[in-house]
Amino acid sequence: MSERRLTVYPVPPGRNSLWYWPKAKHPLRVIYNFLLITLSRYVPSLRLKNFILRRTGMKVGRDVAVGVQAVFDYLWPELITLEDNCIIGYNATILCHEFLVEEYRLGPVVVGHSSVVAANATVLPGVQIGRNAVVSAASLVNRDIPDNAFAGGVPARVLSYRNGSTPS
């Protein structure tokens, strides 16, 4: 598993990096993203939900299924790719940014073809979830998950593979 793909943006000393978000992203765009993503959290139609999410700049493949209350990054949704036939579970969270005191970090997130991010899981910036992978409920994904893996926990670790083998 590889390290997260993050770009680091230092901020001037004195204030924590969250104070600088309006310089990094236009506030009107954030409001637009917030409204669309919030609307998508309650829309029961998968087709309409995918249409709405695409309007934010997210890359949403064919037959993607996003559960109710799933949360996507409001600031940088264009860094999220949901490949064909993947499932994002109830109340899952996918983030592409993290604000720290002296810097903020951005990283793309890819949820692979036919993979599952189960309910209440959180995916951090710069992570790739492989094809046919499953992330169990309430997991924290802070590194890549390989193809065909079943991963879970806090932080998420590969527990087994679809062929029944276990990681060495």
Active site residue 26: no
Q: Which of 4, 49, 97, 105 is catalytic?
A: 97
Question: CA 4, 41, 151, 133 torsion: positive or negative?
Answer: negative
Q: By the 8 A CB rule, do 64 and 50 touch? A: yes
Cα–Cα distances in Å, from 15 out to 21, 75, 102, 161? 12, 20, 8, 45
Q: Which residues form the catalytic set?
A: 97
